[in-house]
Structure formats: C-alpha cells, structure tokens
Structure 1
Amino acid sequence: MTAAAPARRLEGRVHLITGAARGIGAAVARRLSAEGSAIAAADLDADGLAALAADLEATGTAVLTGRFDSRDSAATDRFVAETVERFGRLDGAVPCAGIARAARAEEMTDAAFADVLGINLTGVFYTCRAVGRVLLARGEGAIVTVASITARGGQPGRANYAASKWGLVGLTKTLALEWGGRGVRVNAVAPNGVDTPMIRDGIPPDFLDGVMLDRTPLGRLARPEEVAAVIAFLLGPDASYVNGAVVEVDGGLTAGFLTARNGADFASRTIPSPPAPGQQNRP
C-alpha cells in the first residue's frame, strides 16, 4: 500500500534546518517541503546540501542553502538574516546538527568533549537565539530541537553526548518558558536509535541487535521519516497548545525497564496469583 501524501499544513511557511544534508535533518527538510514549506538548509556537507536542494527544487520547493559550522554564531546570524531577506519571512526552525564521539570518560579527549557539546548544545542555542529573535518580533512561530532518550539517563561511553542532550532538554524547556507567552512555541523530540549513518557507523552490530533492539518493544530502529513526521506535527497548527514538551519517539524503549526480547521477557513468565482473602504474602 502506498502511503498517503502528507497534508499541506505548512503551506506558504519557511523553516530553517541545520544538519540538513543527511539523516534526520534531510528527512525533516523533505517532510516540511512535502507539507508546503520553503526550506533554508544548512550544513557543512556541501555535496549533501546540493543533492538535497536538487531533490526539493525538483518538487517545486523554494530552497536556500548555507554551508557553515553551527558553532559559528556570526555565520548563523547571517544565514538567518539571509533567509528572511530571501523569503520575506521565517516561521520556525529545526536545529538538527549533531555528532557523537564515543569514549570512556577517563580516556575522552578535551576535543571530543568540546566538539560534542559545541555542536549538540552550543550550536543549537545559537540557532534558537537567532531564529527566536525573528519569531519574537513577529509574535509567532515554533522551534523543535532534537534531543535523545539519552537525556533520560546516562550512557556508558558517552559522557559528552549525554551531557549535551540533558543540556538540550533544559535549554528547550527554558526557551518554552521564556518565549511561549510571546507566541513562540519550543519543543523537542527524543528519538531512540534512528537508522542513519551515525548509528550504523558508530554502534557495533552486536550491541545494536543484542541490546538496543532487544529492549525496544517495536523491535527495530526508527526511520528518519518517522521522526520527521513528529517534528512536522510539532511545528504545525495542530500542535498549537504544545509547548515545552519532549516527545519520545523511541519505539517504547523508555516505557519501562528491565526488559528484553522486545518487552516479552517478564510477560512470558507465570505471574503469581494474589493471596486468598484472609491470607498474607510471606517473604
């Protein structure tokens, strides 16, 4: 069965996306384009940006691209200004730029810690700040950040990544408090593993299959398009009363704990019957 085309809930709007050349960012750009939005796409990957722009322009979508490091606040400010100059408006943003540099904490280099915090948190703040100024002046708009289920707990080997995503949730909720009353909603999605090059290249197959997927009730990775669909909802008019939320797009992973075999480990056992009236459970 062919999936129905998305409703064009974002017709005439303009959204800025960082980390747009591949993975979740590219999926978001395609989804927002399909819903009618013009796209301002930023990334360091010039070839990826060019391919994305060609695909979107072939569907009739207006596209602006910018190649810069999201940690460069001046470059971010310039791209936001260029977006407004090109399209005459800006309705929201999805800061998707993110990296992972796994290492045990005692072996993690200064650069590995600083790079992950810089891109995953500081760069996101720069994007939100620059876009937020435009949206606040209009009195309306929405921003969706990309957190992670790692913001629900620690993760061995990823002190830098966990710190960045916990910080990102704090940033998202603070911006929602500061800006919500002025017409700008800020929310986050928190994915589990998403089938992107960063996951496939960075996680050993035995851990992916034997731990991550084994503990996920849906038993598979998310597709980037599935995360993008939730982001599109949060940006759109149907989410007009959603502000400061962190939406878990995780296949049910964080719905419980001490689970295995897609949540069937305990369910497969016989659960003791309750004691008869007048009896007590004994230790």
Structure 2
Amino acid sequence: MSQVHASGNPSPAGAETKTGRFAGHVALVTGGGSGIGAAVARQLAAEGCVAVHVADRDELGARQVADRVGGHAHVVDVTDPVAVDAVVEAVLAEHGRIDVLVHTAGVDDPDAKSRILHAQESGEPVDVLCHLDDAAWRRVLSINLDGTFHVLRAAVRAMRPRGTGAIVTVGSSASFDTLTGYPHYAASKAGVHALSQAVAKEAIAFGIRVNTVAPGPVDTPMAGRTPAAVRTAMAESGVLGYASAEELADNICYLASPGASNVVGAVLLSNGGRFTV
C-alpha cells in the first residue's frame, strides 16, 4: 500500500534541542495507529525524538496519532514486503537514518474468542482447532509472524550502514502459557520470539539491538473486542489484571533506550504476575 504523510510539522522548530532518552532520534512505529503502538509513539515523542513516523493499516488512526505527536503518518500492510520496504525507504529518504523501530502491528481472532466464550458458558470443551480453517490460520500467521519478518529485515537493512539502532518487537505471554483455543495466535507469537532472538544474535554484530516484549492481557482496542466473560477470566488469571498500553510503552521504550545497551535478544515478560520462565 502507498505511504501517506500526515499534515503537521515534519521537523518541529527546536526539535534538535529536545532532551530525553531519545533526544534527536528518528523513530518508526508500526501498528502505531492505536493501542500499544500509539502509546509508544506518544512516549517516544515526549522523550525527545526529533521525528516519529507512525505506520498503520488504518490511515485515520495513523494520522490522528501522528498529528498528536507532530509526526508523520504512513499507511502500510505489514504482510506486504514491498509496502514495508517503501515505508522504511521513505523515512531514510527524509532523515537519512532510523534510530528506533518498534513493531507492534498484530491481530487476534475474534471467531476463536467467540468459541472460547461458548465453551465457557455451556460447560463444553473448547472446540477451536477443528473449526479453524486455512484462511484464519494464514491471516494470523501472515500478519503476526510474516509481518514481523518483513519489518525486521527492512529495519536491519536500514540500520546496518550506520552500525547502530534499536528494534523492539511485540510477542505475547500466550506463547508460553497458551490459552486453550488459541493455537494459531500462540504459534504466531512463539514464532515472533524465536525469529527476533535469532535476528538479535545476527544483528548485534552490526551494532543493532533487537529485543521483544511479551505482554499478558493489555487494555487496547483489540482487547476490547474480547467477549466480556472471556476478558474477565483473563483479567483474573494474573495478580495485576489487564495492563495499560502506557505500561507496555514503558517496557518497550526501556528496551529501545540507551539504558538497555547491554540487553540483546531478551523476551521481557510483562504479564501481571501470571507466570515466570
């Protein structure tokens, strides 16, 4: 899909004199039009980024977040490698570099959640696998896992010439403590963890750090589509209940910051005390 730039100030006056952990940095956030990605974009801007590029499949969401942070909006489908490369190339053409890339784009499966709810209400066993068709499987894997591959590849290619950069991907605690009836989501996020860690070992030789945050339930628009009874059960599975998008942004920005300069290939659990590994 083609890129779209938001209206607003591409280089706010005095931006080079900003202070904070990301002072003078150029950042790109995929999935930045809502939820965790939007919270990350806001925090990066608040902590000194000279430019924040917000990429999302939802043009309106991307524009609204970009306008709020004085940044730039792009429309992108992360399942399309050409579109991902085009967004990264657009940022490079404008700034000559990408210092931070945060990849939050991802999906769940409302139909599977409905089947989980039915089992919860009826007392019957969860029956998702036998009804999971190839299209539903491919949708989740293509966005969550293939999309992460496309973004990681483009980001490392962009950062490698300068020998520096930080990338943070978003996995899920569901890949460790799998939710019954969610095989495709768990598999996709386990793949994100393994992919990110493998890339981390390779990319650090070129000065690029790659890390992952693995959230438990987070209060985002995607979580808002979870049936209320399922949502309540998930909230009760941990000591702290649902996290906020801002709490996850704190975790992500730590991993992207100079304060995590010795952290490479980590999968940071942010799951409200549900389990440890």
Same fold (TM > 0.5): yes
Q: How does 1:93-172 map to 2 (within 5 A)?
A: 93-101=101-109, 102-103=111-112, 104-172=128-196
Instruction: Tell me how far 1:31 sits from its aligned partner.
Output: 0.8
Amino acid across the alignment from 1:239: A
Partner of 1:234: 255
Partner of 2:92: 84
Q: Give ranges in structure 1 of 5+ residues lacking alignment.
A: 1-6, 58-62, 257-283
| Secondary structure class of the residue paired with 1:213 | helix
Amino acid across the alignment from 2:263: V
Q: What does the per-residue CA deviation read over 1:161-217, in whole Å, with 9 as the maximum and x for residues that have no partner?
A: 011000000001101111112211110001110001111212x222322x3222211
Counterpart of 2:41 (choices 26, 29, 35) is: 29
Instruction: Tell me how far 1:88 sits from its aligned partner.
Output: 2.2
RMSD: 1.3
Alignment pair present for 1:213 and 2:235: yes
TM-score, normalised with respect to structure 2: 0.84
Report the number of matched residues.
242
- Seq. identity, %: 40
Alignment pair present for 1:223 and 2:247: no
| Secondary structure class of the residue paired with 1:247 | strand
Q: How far apart, in 2, do the equivalents of 1:76 and 1:207 lie?
A: 34
Q: How far apart, in 1, do the equivalents of 2:180 and 2:272 lie?
A: 21
Alignment pair present for 1:48 and 2:61: yes
Q: How far apart, in 2, do the equivalents of 1:136 and 1:116 lie?
A: 29
TM-score, normalised with respect to structure 1: 0.83
| Secondary structure class of the residue paired with 1:153 | coil
Q: How far apart, in 2, do the equivalents of 1:230 and 1:187 lie?
A: 11
Amino acid across the alignment from 1:215: S
Amino acid across the alignment from 2:187: A
Instruction: Tell me how far 1:154 sits from its aligned partner.
Output: 2.5
Contact 1:16/1:39 (8 A) holds in 2? yes
Alignment pair present for 1:64 and 2:72: yes
